Structure 1
Amino acid sequence: MSDEQIRLGELRDQIDSLDQQIMDLVSARARCAQEVAEVKMAHNPGQDVFFYRPEREAQVLRRIKEANPGPLSDEEMARLFREIMSACLALEKPMHIAFLGPVGTFTQAAALKHFGHSVVSVPLPAIDAVFREVESGSAHYGVVPVENSTEGMINHTLDMFMSSPLKICGEVQLRIHHHLLCSPENRDQDITRIYSHQQSFAQCRQWLDAHRYGIERVAVSSNAEAARRAAEEPGTAAIAGDMAGELYGLDVVAAKIEDRPDNTTRFLIVGREEVGPSGQDKSSILVSMRNKPGALYQLLEPFHRNGLSLTRIETRPSPSGTWAYVFYIDFEGHMDDDLISKVLSEVEAEAVELKRLGSYPIGVL
């Protein structure tokens, strides 16, 4: 045997030994997770026990990223542990996660990124259907889009919070890459029609005008639906992501055609319980102010005076009357903090209504 073969054999033996150690440690972690579940059930007999704790998982993932020795990137190491935690949690009972469907959408990709692949993902046809599924208890959590870095806020999601009792339990940001896709059988045909969601058309407008000007653009309910049609109809293509393309067996005609390379969508995790502090948190509220001069100043001044950082403020028409408005506000910190509690009390004293939508960990992955 050559020196190369001898050395490769030694390295492969070492890898086999390390693989066994990894399996042993993962199995030990899984058994420990089972014991945690048993302790919770024993101390809460007859009650609904929440095994998934968003704040705890965020703390674990942050610690993994901080302690990562390399050579894998911090993000890659955290994703590996995300899947380990997802599998361990599913030993008791896999969580059901409702998302804006159908299967193959970016919202499903966001759900799997946040919860891991050991959950049961439940596609639903509309944002309000996701809220209802979680409110009824048929799903543990829901995942809905709330804003895109190119096209702004998704108003339907904001409006749902006005009437829903659900809390925001987490957030996840997903880099959105759009591809022009077509069926392998139709690749050599001229494309006469392109299907996609209207948001995706807007995010790829410049590329389409430059490279596919004059071709009919047909808006459909989702990018997954666009991919399905492109797989079945000759002479058509779809704008969609990797998941939808793989699901329907499409080829990439042109990759990453979004106009902005940093195109990102933020998704919210909605659930029925409040989330404890994780150490790096964000909070969201809805505020309805009295219609009088200086109302917006009165709303924002306590945040400024106390040094709280606002990360988002949006205005939506109030369902209670014409020319009345509700403010959706995100800010850094947890509502359990004494300072934030004091600021919200000040705001509440001047507001018609203040609704606390929840505090939750700032997205780790």
Structure 2
Amino acid sequence: MTDSKDLDQVRSEIDTLDQQLQELINRRAGLAQEVADIKMAEAQQARADGAESAEVVFYRPEREAQVLARIMERNQGPLPAKNVAAIFREIMSACLALERPMQVAYLGPEGTFTQAAAIKHFGHAVLDVSQDTIAGVFNQVESGQCNYGVVPVENSTEGMVNHTLDNFMDSGLQICGEVELRIHHHLLAAAHTSAADIVKIYTHQQTLAQCRDWLEAHWPQVEKIAVSSNAMGARLAASEPGAAAIGGDMAATQYELQRLAENIEDNPDNTTRFLIIGSEEVLPSGNDKTSIIVASRNRPGALFALLEPFRQAGVSLTRLDTRPSRTEKWAYVFFIEFEGHLRDPNVAAIVAQLEEQSILLKPLGSYPKAVI
């Protein structure tokens, strides 16, 4: 057919577009550097004018959420909107690193789902710093050694991560964002290990619960050993004869393990939500959540009284959990998430009502809802 393009012509068009894309990406990077220069100059001028605090803020969570949301809204295919947003996420990450490379603490070791969540949210250009515990992540951000931290807060199968909620009780950090990650578990083993060799399986306790039915059906007689993280289990499986582990793609790659079985989670929609923690308040993005901790007086109808202002204002709750109080026996504090921003007038009115009837109210921050 004389009207149709041949393969060489199509490839030539692709090469031309690649060159144009590369030029545009670098032009965007140049503008990012200009933004950094402007921010630095403004901060220097503010200090010269006597401002007590003129710290330069390079990363703006609400701004990035707005940009990614617009990218998804205007996408016309054939690439899916989330794929396009993920590409721009990496471009934005690389451009931000030109302004100032960020350090992000996460619950490690290397290869955990928390590290995968950190990369999904911040992109590959950040410097991720592994921590052994959730408290360690909080400490790294509180001390200023890391700009932000990433901690797990909720799994769709197993519920809330209590260690994360407990750390918020004593911390002055803010929630700056959230990220959701689909969790796919694989049975992993070293390259020289066959299924017949396996006598023990290492993994995190929550992962054991998420794969309970599959393990009972396929490996009922094999010892299951709970360890501090899936990545730790993968590390052990890489070095111990007869050992396997349950973990995700990052763990398999990090420790060079083969997949003996894939997607073994009992719930195919298994998802974990992670929180981004930092020290700065996040401005409204237009599509936000707010989290608070509140403790009521011990009296009949106390919980109803706490929830009534939300009903009256027509504000939707997205999460409600309880934790034991540290100051009073058989008393509890409530972890409440809801739609809106603390700067919204209706949300501010709700918080004012709660302050009047509670013995403790601690805002944990307002932040953009997960975009990708």
Length-normalised TM-score, structure 1: 0.98
Q: Which amino acid aligns with 1:10?
A: Q
Residue 105 of structure 1: aligned partner: 112
- Answering whether residue 244 of structure 2 is matched by residue 245 of structure 1, we say no
State the match for 1:32 in structure 2.
31
Where do residues 91-102 of structure 1 align in structure 2 (5 Å cutoff)? 91-102=98-109
Give the superposed CA RMSD. 1.4
CA shift for structure 1 position 5: 11
What SS is found at the alignment partner of 2:268? coil
| Post-superposition offset of 1:202 | 0.5
- 1:129 and 1:280 map into 2 onto residues whose CA distance is 30
Alignment of 1:98-177 (within 5 A): 98-177=105-184
Cα separation, 2, equivalents of 1:164 and 1:343: 23
1:320 alignment partner in structure 2: 327
Shift in Å at residue 75 of structure 1? 0.5
Output the amino acid matched with 2:105.
A
Contact 2:195–2:260 (Cα < 8 Å) also in 1: no
Q: Which amino acid aligns with 1:323?
A: W
Pick which of 317-326 and 108-117 moved more: 317-326
Q: Which residue pairs with 1:333 in the alignment?
A: 340
Quote the Cα distance in structure 2 between the aligned partners of 1:5 and 1:253. Answer: 46
Instruction: Look up the SS of the partner of 1:103 in the other structure.
Output: coil
- State the partner residue of 1:19: 18
Q: Report the secondary structure of 1:184's partner residue.
A: coil
Amino acid at match of 1:81: F
Query: Residue type matched to 1:183 in 2?
Result: A
> How many residues end up aligned between the 2 structures?
364
* SS of 2:299 mapped into structure 1: coil
Counterpart AA for 2:269: D
CA distance in structure 2 between the aligned counterparts of 1:108 and 1:94, rounded to whole angstroms? 17
1:194 matched to 2:193? The reply is: no
Distance 1:227 1:206 in 2: 21
Give the aligned partner of residue 51 of structure 2: none
1:48 offset after TM fit, Å?
2.1
The 2-side partners of 1:240 and 1:327 are apart by 32
The alpha-carbon deviation at position 188 of structure 1 amounts to 5.5
Q: Which residue of structure 2 lines up, in the alignment, with residue 219 of structure 1?
A: 226
Shift of 1:320: 1.3
Q: Equivalent of 1:55, from 36, 58, 62?
A: 62
Q: Could you give the per-residue CA deviations for residues 130-167 of structure 1, whole angstroms, max 9, x where no partner exists?
A: 00100011000000000100110000100111110000
Assess, with a 3 A threshold, how the Cα gap between structure 1 residues 225 and 68 changes in structure 2: closer, same or farther: same
Q: Percent identity?
A: 60
Change (3 A) 1:29 1:205: same
| Corresponding residue of 1:42 | 41
What is the SS of the residue equivalent to 2:235?
helix
Q: Deviation string for 1:32-71 (max 9, x for gaps)? A: 1111111111111253211110000000000000011211
Name the CA distance, whole Å, in 1 between partners of 2:100 and 2:56: 11
Residue 71 (structure 1) aligns with: 78
Structure 1 residue 187 displacement after superposition:
2.1
Give the one of 297, 302, 312 matched to 1:305: 312
User: Which residue matches 1:348?
Assistant: 355
Q: Do residues 9 (structure 1) and 8 (structure 2) align?
A: yes
Which structure 2 residues correspond to residues 242-321 of structure 1 after superposition, within 5 A? 242-321=249-328
- CA 1:343/1:72 → structure 2, altered by over 3 Å: closer, same or farther? same
Shift of 1:94: 1.1
* Alpha-carbon shift at residue 189 of structure 1 (Å): 4.0
Deviates more, 1:71-80 or 1:40-49: 40-49
Whichever residue aligns with residue 341 of structure 1, its letter is A
Mean Cα deviation higher: 187-196 or 73-82: 187-196
- How far the C-alpha of 1:6 sits from its partner, in A, is 7.0
- How far residue 92 of structure 1 moved from its aligned partner, in angstroms, is 2.2
In structure 1, what is the Cα distance between the partners aligned to 2:60 and 2:5?
48
Conserved 8 A contact 2:32-2:99: no
Q: Work out the CA distance in 1 between the residues paired with 2:277 and 2:3.
A: 55
Name the aligned partner's letter for residue 143 of structure 2.
S
- Tell me the distance in 1 between the aligned counterparts of 2:326 and 2:66: 38
* Whole-angstrom CA distance in 1 between matches of 2:263 and 2:292: 35
The unaligned stretches of length 5 or more in structure 1 are none
Shift in Å, 1:288: 1.0
| AA at the equivalent of 2:202 | Y
State the partner residue of 2:50: none
Report the 3-state secondary structure (helix = DSSP H, G, I; strand = E; otherwise coil) of the residue aligned with 1:336: coil
